[in-house]
Structure 1
């Protein structure tokens, strides 16, 4: 099958959709499909205006303009995109949507006009955009024209189902290389030893620092999270949760949270931590590689996901695959791969989130049970499984297109 993947954003930009579409392209090629990517993002060497770059064996068409900040916007792309889709004789067009995706939105209309079977996957929580889309009627019209609609989680699918009540919205989860992330569990010791090599510290000990030892249990109590330090990811509320945990567990218990990632709210988070004396509890590690992140998970107690408007949570899924229980929010995308009380703990609000973390600091038995269950039950969202679901969605797009034509 010849597949066109279309997305506003792609590498070298870094983000959930960019990485996910790149990885999907690679795994589709492994499955024997021919794949090309179309994007409004400039290439690694600044490729624009339709230049084609080969990225990991996949041709990438950079239909990008020269704009401030390399914004992935090109309102003049549709004619050239239509020409290339027709010339390429693609069997299916798979469009990937974010919250605001002008290129992807145009790509759906172009693919339909070119009579290419079309699948559209939303990677976002619509939130306020649901009302805008309801007024425009765009999603309903797409469904009526034979587009196969999907979202990465049940939470993300619900508003789409409201927008297109007569259509079927499939849940098409993000995928990860489960075997790669699980390779760290073999080196992870269930006892008191721990390891954190991402900052060059060489260990988890140290009085008052993240990764200290709980007096009662004698094992490291080190929470980790990987997130963009931005308002939508709730970086500052996470610092507030840490303050409440500190109040709940007392000074006699050493514990900490290591935060991996960068973002515009780093300064606000640092200021809050300094003001409330939490700089030894919450450590901002900055951006690290996937390998460094995997290494940091060895010996960690749990992964923390404070985000509410999280359509899926790839970083949390990777932590689950590495054998970590996930402490997150109910109603977010982490519910797709976290069973409350078994492979993690889900909270209805930040106070309950802090209470769950405090429980894990104070109760070695709870930590042990959750980690054992998480390591024993790997998540099902492995790439081979997800590719099979994607192929089924492409077949559905073909059936809908044929039905529409006849």
Structure 2
């Protein structure tokens, strides 16, 4: 099969969509498909305007333009470049990856459906706050009867998309290499050691890195000195605000590691107990899935995509708010037998999100899209 992915953002940018599109494309190449990625993200050397890189067998078409702040858009030439590539490649399926604001991806939808190509669209975001405004727009535009197979990365995210478009919306989840992240080490938390908390995220307001520090500080105030240890992995625009909040809260045992490659993240998880997912609008939670697969107990907000692979009270806790997350931290610091039970389940029951599962879900969407043409 010849597959074209369309995504505003792609490597060398880092983030959830970029990671998943890249991993999906590489696994599809390994499965024997010819795979192309159309993106508005410039290459490492500023490649743009149609330059094609071949990375791990994936043909990456750099269709962006040089703009301030390297914004991944091409409002003038983008649709024409997309049309030219699609006519040249003649794909069997076009898989568009969308966020709340994805102008390049939506150009891809318009061009691909106009060319009557089988088109699948996957939303990688939560559309909270968009549904009420967007529904009237959808009803009065061609999106109302769009000949495309719609999906999202989790059940909660799909529910919002369905509310917006009032059509069937399936789930194409994110994936990881489960065997790579799985841990075979026995779980015997030492009550004499601090409870080791870890979070991996882009340090940006949407991920709520600063409130995460407040959550940990609130728990620390209820525990003896030295009862908690926090490792925060990631970088981003909120880095300085996080450092300032750590200092203001008086948290002593905090390690701000910056962005790490995957092997170093796995090594960090081997020495941790609990993963904290602080975002309230988490459509899936790749980092949380990796941590849960590595045998960590996961604390996350209820109603997010993390609930697709974490069961409340079984391998973590799905909490109502930040105060409840602080309560859960205190509970696990004081009850190491409970912590051991949560971690044992996470370690011994692998989540069903390996790449074979994801590839099957994507193939089902391509077949569905073909029936809509």
How does the TM-score come out when normalised to structure 2? 0.96
Question: Equivalent residue for 1:231?
Answer: 205
Whole-Å separation in 1 of the counterparts to 2:152 and 2:333: 36
Q: Which moved more, 1:140-149 or 1:73-82?
A: 140-149
Q: Are the structure 2 counterparts of residues 120 and 138 from structure 1 closer, same or farther at C-alpha, using a change threshold of 3 Å?
A: farther
Deviations 1:180-210, CA, capped at 9 Å, x for gaps: 111xx13x34235xxxxxxxxxxxxxxxxxx
Does residue 1:275 correspond to 2:276, yes or no?
A: no
Does residue 1:390 correspond to 2:359, yes or no?
A: no
Q: Retained in 2: the 8 A contact 1:300–1:324?
A: yes
Map 1:112-151 → 2, pairs under 5 A: 112-137=113-138, 141-142=142-143, 144-151=145-152
Whole-Å separation in 1 of the counterparts to 2:176 and 2:144: 29
Q: Retained in 2: the 8 A contact 1:303–1:326?
A: yes
Does residue 1:263 correspond to 2:236, yes or no?
A: yes
Question: Equivalent residue for 1:190?
Answer: 187
Cα offset, 1:141, TM superposition:
3.5
Q: Which has the larger radius of gyration?
A: 1
Does residue 1:58 correspond to 2:55, yes or no?
A: no
Cα offset, 1:159, TM superposition:
1.7
Equivalent residue in structure 2 for 1:218, among 192, 209, 212: 192
Question: Equivalent residue for 1:200?
Answer: none
Equivalent residue in structure 2 for 1:323, among 289, 295, 298: 295
Deviations 1:150-196, CA, capped at 9 Å, x for gaps: 0001111112111222x2100111011111111xx13x34235xxxx
Q: Retained in 1: the 8 A contact 2:118–2:370?
A: yes
Cα offset, 1:129, TM superposition:
2.9
Question: Equivalent residue for 1:68?
Answer: 68
Question: Equivalent residue for 1:155?
Answer: 156
Cα offset, 1:281, TM superposition:
3.3
Does residue 1:288 correspond to 2:260, yes or no?
A: yes
Deviations 1:284-324, CA, capped at 9 Å, x for gaps: 11111110000011131111111101111101011111111
Question: Equivalent residue for 1:339?
Answer: 311
Whole-Å separation in 1 of the counterparts to 2:51 and 2:142: 32
Question: Equivalent residue for 2:93?
Answer: 92
Structure 1 gaps, min length 5: 193-212, 402-406
Q: Retained in 2: the 8 A contact 1:120–1:147?
A: yes
Does residue 1:26 correspond to 2:23, yes or no?
A: no
Give SS of 1:341's match. Answer: coil
How does the TM-score come out when normalised to structure 1? 0.88
How many residue pairs were aligned? Answer: 372
